[in-house]
Amino acid sequence: MSESILIIGGGIAGINAALNAADYGCKVYLIDDTASIGGMMARLDKTFPTNDCSICIESPLMYEVDNHTNIEILTNTEVRRVNAQNGTFTARLIKKAKYIDEQKCTGCGKCVEACPVSVPDELDGKIGGMRKLIYMPFPQAVPNVSVIDPRCRYGKMREQGACVGGCVVDCSQCRECPIALCVKACKEEGKDAVVLWQADRPMDIEVDGIIVATGIQSAEPATGLYGYNIYANVVTNTQFERLMNAGGPTAGEIIRPSDGKHAKKIAWIQCAGRGLAKGLPYCSKVCCMVATKQTIITKEHDATVEATVFYNDLKAYGKGFWDFYQKAKENGVTYLKARPYDVFEDPETRNLTVRYENMDTGEIEQQEVELLVLSTGLIPNENNKRLAKVLKIELDDLGFFKEKDPVLAPLETNVEGIYVCGGATGPIDISESVVQASAAAMKAVLH
């Protein structure tokens, strides 16, 4: 049995693979290139088909991983080099500086309160989400420590009012910052955890197996697609998920980006961009159920909201998914088999008119809504190409990691000892990701 494995990606797949392997007595290095484990699931509101609170399910698992004696979590960490020899792998990891001493930080948040500069949040920026230059990735982050935006150092954010003011000294040359308010606030709490002069740290490990669990990304629509990036009230399904979320930028209020008013007429366009030159050439499997979930939750927030889903080909492939769709219809959601072809905005009301071909009647019709959601699909992680090169494993034509043989050798790659699971294999839901993660962990442990 393997004594140690490396898991690349700390979403729900990586977390489950880590817990399974660690329970078998394996030493696990779980790395993530962001500041916290959790992946996409940590940012969702509820999960289909049960509509349980997403973070309430994932957070106890993240806590278990954090406290498991066989698991070492390394966040802000990337794999730079991997060499295979006699069935084992040596890997060079780079732990990028958070400018925080993770042993000393207790996540008290005093540094965040002291920081004077807010910038748009990576995920929620377009719908008004802001974060400070020093910030917690999200309230349940693991590890529960702050992280500093690298742009804050060397006075780069001086124009935006960063507290380093006129200081021109390179932060990596100073060992004691007398100016930064986060440093002062931390010291006042008696902790001294903010380390602006911290550098990236290389780390070499030897493992018997590797699991790739780098997940998926939400596709960004092309500017102009159904008015996206032109009309303020056209958002993606990921942005809408954050609008519904009590932990999101609007504290769960489903309001319009243009004027902050509660939206009473909302439509979803499924397969947005699919088949277009810059769109996706494949079905992302989960979007129909994501939209169904979002309509049900929207109506739980406010039963008077009119919700319409423009769909082309409804996918309800999993256990309980068809009933879930029926539930949405019973709650008053309208499903229209239609092909939307354009959207225009009323400059006064900022409402949007969707023009579409009704595929049941063949008629050209139109509908006015206050908020429009584009279901744009899931794409491979942008770093897959680089990682595939480092690991010497293959990608499929779409950019996901290729299984050696989906029927006879699923989750295995062309390199013995390297396995894949979850969104790294293609668009997938959470329960399937968890099943694959358990199987990949078993294969890696028994390798």
Q: Please identify, using beta-carbon distances, which residue of 121 and 429 lies nearer to ligand FAD.
A: 429
185 near ligand FAD (CB under 6 A): no
Give the position of tokens 């930064």.
180
Q: Which of 32, 58, 149, 370 binds ligand FAD (CB under 6 A)?
A: 32
Q: Whole-number minimum distance, CB 187 to ligand FAD, in Å?
A: 31
Task: Mark the segment that binds ligand FAD (CB under 6 A) among 29-37, 94-102, 104-112, 394-402.
Answer: 29-37
Q: Give the contact letters, 124-163, x = binds to ligand FAD (CB under 6 A), - = no.
A: ----------------------------------------
Question: Token pair of 3, please?
Answer: 């004594």
Nearer to ligand FAD, 91 or 194 (CB): 91
CA nearest to 264, candidates 310, 233, 231: 233
In angstroms, rounded to a whole number, what is the distance separating the alpha carbons of residues 180 and 165? 9
- Per-residue contact flags (x/-) with ligand FAD for residues 349 to 388, judged by CB under 6 A: -----------------------------x--x-x---x-
Which residues, listed in sequence order, are joined to residue 2 by a DSSP beta bridge?
none
Q: Smallest distance, Å, CB 11 to ligand FAD?
A: 2
Under the binding rule (CB under 6 A), the answer on residue 10 touching ligand FAD is yes
Q: For residue 281, which of 397, 403, 401 has the smallest C-alpha distance?
A: 397
Stretch that binds ligand FAD, among 31-39, 164-172, 182-190, 391-399 (CB under 6 A): 31-39
From 6, 18, 48, 267, residue interacting with ligand FAD (rule: CB under 6 A): 48
Tokens found for residue 97: 């500086």
Q: Are 230 and 346 in contact (CB under 8 A)?
A: no
Whose Cβ is closer to ligand FAD: residue 33's or residue 208's? Answer: 33
How far is 332 from 295, CA to CA, in rounded Å? 9
53-82 residues in contact with ligand FAD (CB under 6 A) are: 78
Closest contact distance (angstroms) between CB of 286 and ligand FAD is: 5
Nearer to ligand FAD, 114 or 141 (CB): 141
Binding letters toward ligand FAD, positions 282-311, x by CB under 6 A = ----x---x--x------------------
Site string for ligand FAD, 387-426 (x = CB under 6 A): x----------------------------------xx---
Applying CB under 6 A, does 241 fall inside the site for ligand FAD?
A: yes
Q: Determine, following the binding rule CB under 6 A, whether residue 440 of this chain makes contact with ligand FAD.
A: no
* CB closer to ligand FAD, 237 vs 367: 237
Pick one of 5, 8, 114, 333: the residue that binds ligand FAD (CB under 6 A): 8
Tokens matching residue 92:
């060079």
- Dist CA 253 CA 246 (whole Å): 8
CB closer to ligand FAD out of 73 and 305? 73
**Strand-pair category, 52-53 with 147-148:** unpaired
Q: Cβ closer to ligand FAD: 218 or 308?
A: 218
> Helix, strand, coil proportions of the chain in percent (round to 5)?
30, 25, 45
Please, is 164 exposed, middle or buried when counting C-beta atoms within 10 Å of its C-beta (0-12, 13-18, 19+)?
buried
Taking the least distance from each CB to ligand FAD, the nearer of 164 and 444 is 444
Amino acid type, 192 = D
User: Could you check whether the bond before residue 143 is cis, i.e. omega within 30 degrees of 0?
Assistant: yes
At CA 375, angle to CA 371 and CA 377, rounded to 5?
155
CA distance 403 to 425: 7
Q: Is 43 within 8 Å of 90 (Cβ atoms)? A: no
Residue from 297, 361, 284 nearest 333 by CA: 297
Q: How far is the CB of 71 from ligand FAD (least distance, A)?
A: 15
Q: How far apart are CA 239 and CA 250, in angstroms?
A: 11
Which residues lie across from 93 on neighbouring strands? 79, 203
Per-position x/- string for 199-238, each x denoting binding to ligand FAD as judged by CB under 6 A, each - no binding: --------------xxxx-x------------------xx
Nearest to 19 by CA among 447, 391, 428, 434: 434
What is the total residue count of the chain? 447
Return d(Cα 33, Cα 445) in angstroms, integer. 24
Stretch of 11-19, 340-348, 402-410, 438-446 contacting ligand FAD, by CB under 6 A: 11-19
**Interface with ligand FAD, residue 12, by CB under 6 A:** yes
Q: Which residues bind ligand FAD (CB under 6 A)?
A: 8-14, 31-34, 39-41, 44, 47-48, 78, 213-216, 218, 237-238, 241, 286, 290, 293, 378, 381, 383, 387, 422-423, 428-431, 433
